[in-house]
């Protein structure tokens, strides 16, 4: 599902090559990348068709969108395109965040014990886990915030344009674009 996202990361890395080399590689890879994009688009189209067939009676985030979709609303291709973004953004970034959080928790036993203690006291056996109850768990939220800081799900370095200065002891000229990982 996320091969096209992987291709975008590759392109971002390849963009640092000399321009003629970059263009040649992109020309070679474009056939494969277009195939990946089409697979993702087809996946989203199937999911949208299945969801549209279920109507607006479900209690999910899609129903209000579909109910408001009158004659001036979105076309099916527009819905497919929008939900392709939602599927990728809501799946890949969430999976990456949770992978990072679980990795760090399993390699740091004390925070894991604290989190499990908070979860077990908030949700004894048989207690349903609800969205509102989870919002009131300060340690869980701290773990997720720290995971976002240390293990950001963004596939791209965040760009900053510096007017001038000395970030991290490196002299950079005026209006030079600087990219660094999110925690930087």
Quick: pLDDT tens for 93-106.
888 889 999 999 99
Do residues 88 and 23 share a domain? yes
Which range of residues forms the domain containing residue 8? 1-94
pTM: 0.54
**Token pair in block for residue 114:** 């604290």
Residue 150: beta bridge partners?
none
Looking at residue 171, its pLDDT comes to: 63
Do residues 5 and 87 share a domain? yes
Residue pair 37/88 in contact by the 8 Å Cβ criterion? no
**Token pair in block for residue 54:** 């279920």
Average pLDDT over residues 148-165: 65
pLDDT tens readout for residues 2-56:
555 666 667 777 777 788 887 888 777 776 766 767 777 888 888 888 888 887 7
Do residues 7 and 68 share a domain? yes
Residue by residue, DSSP assigns 68-125 as T--TTS--HHHHHHHHHHHHHHHHHHHHHHHHHHHHHHHT-HHHHHHHHHHHHHHS-T
Q: Give the residue, 18 or 92, on which the prediction is more confident.
A: 18
- How many domains does the chain divide into? 3
Do residues 73 and 121 share a domain? no
Do residues 4 and 81 share a domain? yes
Q: Last residue of a domain, which of 94, 122, 137?
A: 94
């Amino acid at each position: 599902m996320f091969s096209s996202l992987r291709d975008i990361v590759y392109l971002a890395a390849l963009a640092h090559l000399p321009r003629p080399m970059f263009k040649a590689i992109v020309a070679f890879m474009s056939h494969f990348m277009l195939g990946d994009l089409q697979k993702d688009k087809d996946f989203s189209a199937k999911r949208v068709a299945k969801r549209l067939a279920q109507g607006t009676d479900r209690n999910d985030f899609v129903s209000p969108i579909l109910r408001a979709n009158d004659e001036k609303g979105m076309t099916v291709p527009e819905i497919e395109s929008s939900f392709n973004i939602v599927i990728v953004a809501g799946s890949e970034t969430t999976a990456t965040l949770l992978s990072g959080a679980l990795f760090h928790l399993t390699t740091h036993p004390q925070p894991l014990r604290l989190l499990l203690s908070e979860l077990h006291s908030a949700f004894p056996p048989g207690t349903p886990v609800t969205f509102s109850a989870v919002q009131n768990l300060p340690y869980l939220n701290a773990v997720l915030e720290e995971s976002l800081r240390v293990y950001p799900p963004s596939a791209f370095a965040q760009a900053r344009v510096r007017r001038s200065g000395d970030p991290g002891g490196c002299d950079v000229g005026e209006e030079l674009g600087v990219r660094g990982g999110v925690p930087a």
